[in-house]
Amino acid sequence: QIQVGALVFDIGSYSVRAGYAGEDCPKADFPTVIGVTLDREDGSTPMETDGDKGKQSSTTYYIDTNQLRVPRESMEVMSPLKNGMKITDAELFPWNTRAKREKLTELMFEHYNIPAFFLCKSAVLSAFANGRSTGLVLDSGATHTTAIPVHDGYVLQQGIVKSPLAGDFMSMQCRELFQELSVEIIPPYMIASKDAVREGSPASWKKKEKLPQVTRSWHNYMCNCVIQDFQASVLQVSDSPYDEQVAAQMPTVHYELPNGYNCDFGAERLKIPEGLFDPSNAKGLSGNTMLGVGHVVTTSVGMCDIDIRPGLYGSVVVTGGNTLIQGFTDRLNRELSQKTPPSMRLKLIANNTTVERRFSAWIGGSILASLGTFQQMWISKQEYEEGGKQCVDRKCP
């Protein structure tokens, strides 16, 4: 018996998930980027999207894949995250400051006139989606890999450990790989036709005519899409620390870029994601101060009270799109069992379906919003009017 119709939004740095509470997967899932065009050939993009700041520009916004991937003249691509929300949301990252949460509450009630609102941390929701109220949530997404201890439905903020080694880091490494191989990344929008070439030989393709003058940011975005596709299909994490000889014996995977260049990838498949677990040898990292994924988890648990540590290790929830790389969870399991004392019961919870792992925070929100006992937790418009925007801090722990 669904109590109240609620909308659930989960905004990530890579994609936004939105839908109705009570369903098992979000209805809308689109990239967290906005295409902005200005009528004027100013080139300067508006940094604040709330209100026009006196610029007489009719800014048009394009969201969602269908609109976004069409090349338009001077359409800049930017992420709306820092620039204020255009999209309503009911969930946020835990390290958003209090000020941001309050501002968001204000925006929701004042601007959009919603009757009720609730903010919940995505780590708590991921845990709920996996049937647990206590556990260590390891979320490896596009921009960050974080370990967040959740105890009894509350995030322990002192124990959050963040590392920038995540999906985007992988993409950067892939990009460098292609540079080393002297292969140019050509996004599909530029290609009119291509010929089949032999493996490893340079691509042979024809450029489309009458392409509009696209901006640098948009072109980069499209190239990133190509690299992300490569990243998702080819990369694999080895189940023991990277070894040259073992990697050389790995079966190769054949991959073809949009422009026709195709090649077999063997050792590189393992070498690139190794940086996630053992950043000491990864390229492009300044100093060796980065933590590998295993260390991130153990550090986070180590910062918590010793009495709850077995509870945290007994439910390590693995979420986030970046964890879908083949072999990620096995390697993580191995690393954790090495780093914990042998008497510690370790259990990793990782859903096998793509949908569940990428959307676990959204699914948790859907579950939570459809609970009968949740109805008392909403911040209603009346409460907001009485208490001001600070009530979000009290009511949404």
Partner 1 sequence: MATGADVRDILELSGVDNDGPISKKDLINSDKKKSKKATETLTFKRPEGMHREVYALLYSDKKDAPPLLPSDTTQGYRTVKAKLGCKKVRPWKWMPFTNPARKDGAIFHHWRRVAEEGKDYPFARFNKTVQVPVYSEQEYQTHLHDDGWTKAETDHLFDLCKRFDLRFVVVHDRYDYQQFRKRSIEDLKERYYSICGKLTKVRAPSGTEPKIYIFDAGHEKRRKEQLDKLFNRTPEQVAEEEYLIQELRKIENRKREREKKAQDLQKLIKAADTTTELRRAEKRVSKKKLPQKRETEKLALPEMAGIKFPDFKSSGVTLRSQRMKLPSSVGQKKIKAIEQILVEQGVDLNPMPTEDIVQMFNELRSDLVLLYELKQAHSNCEYEQQMLRHRYEALLKTGSGAGCGGTTAGGLARADTQSWLGAEDIKMEPKEQIIDVVGAPLTPNSFTKSIKTIKKNKKNE
Contact footprint for partner 1 (CB under 8 A): 1-5, 115-116, 151-152, 154, 156-159, 304-309, 341-342, 371-373, 375-376, 378, 380-383, 386, 394, 397
Q: Which is nearer to partner 1, 61 or 95 (CB)?
A: 95
Least distance CB 281 / partner 1 (angstroms): 25
Please, what is the minimum distance in Å from the beta carbon of residue 1 to partner 1? 8
Instruction: Quote the CA–CA distance of 370 and 320 in Å, as a whole number.
Output: 23
φ/ψ of 194, rounded to 5, equals -140, 155
Considering beta carbons, is residue 152 or 176 the nearer one to partner 1?
A: 152
Nearer residue to partner 1 within complex by CB, 195 or 305: 305
- Least separation in angstroms between residue 309's CB and partner 1 is 7
Residues in contact with 203: Cβ distance below 8 Å, sequence separation at least 6, in sequence order: 183, 184, 186, 194, 197, 257, 259, 260, 261
Of 73 and 385, nearer to partner 1 (C-beta) is 385
| Closest distance to partner 1 from the beta carbon of 305 (Å) | 6
Q: How far is the CB of 376 from partner 1 (least distance, A)?
A: 4
Locate 251 and state its tokens: 């079966």
The rounded distance, in Å, linking the Cα atoms of 194 and 140 is 36
- Please state the φ and ψ torsions of residue 334, each to the nearest 5 degrees: -65, -45
Instruction: Give the number of other Cβ atoms within 10 Å of residue 101's Cβ.
Output: 17
| Residue nearer to partner 1 on the CB measure, 60 or 338 | 338
Instruction: CB nearer to partner 1: give 2 or 181.
Output: 2
DSSP 3-state assignment of 140?
strand
Helices 293-302 and 267-277 meet at what angle, rounded to 10?
20
Select 136 or 235, whichever has its Cβ closest to partner 1.
Answer: 136
Residue 362 vs 384, nearer CB to partner 1: 384
- Would you give the DSSP letter of residue 111? I
Q: Among residues 70, 67, 69, 48, which one has the least CA distance to residue 59?
A: 48
- Separation CA 356–CA 376 (nearest Å): 27
User: For residues 80 and 294, which CB has a smaller minimum distance to partner 1 in the complex?
Assistant: 294
Query: How many other CB atoms are found less than 10 A from the CB of residue 288?
Result: 10
> Distance between CA atoms of 329 and 327, rounded to whole angstroms?
6
**Numbers of helices and strands, H then E, in the chain:** 14, 20
Q: Which is nearer to partner 1, 55 or 394 (CB)?
A: 394
Q: Between 85 and 301, whose beta carbon lies closer to partner 1? A: 301
Please answer whether residues 106 and 285 qualify as being in contact, where contact means their C-beta atoms are separated by less than 8 angstroms: no
Given a contact cutoff of 8 angstroms between Cβ atoms, the answer to whether 237 and 277 are in contact is: yes
- Judged by phi (left if over 0) then psi (alpha if -120 to 50, else beta), residue 25 lies in beta
Closest approach, Cβ 42 to partner 1, in A, equals: 43
**Helix ranges, the chain (H):** 65-68, 98-106, 122-129, 167-180, 216-234, 244-248, 267-277, 293-302, 309-313, 328-339, 354-358, 360-369, 381-387, 391-395
**Measured from the CB of residue 243, what is the shortest distance to partner 1 in angstroms?**
22
Q: How far is the CB of 366 from partner 1 (least distance, A)?
A: 16
Q: Is the dihedral of CA 165, 167, 173, 176 positive or negative?
A: negative
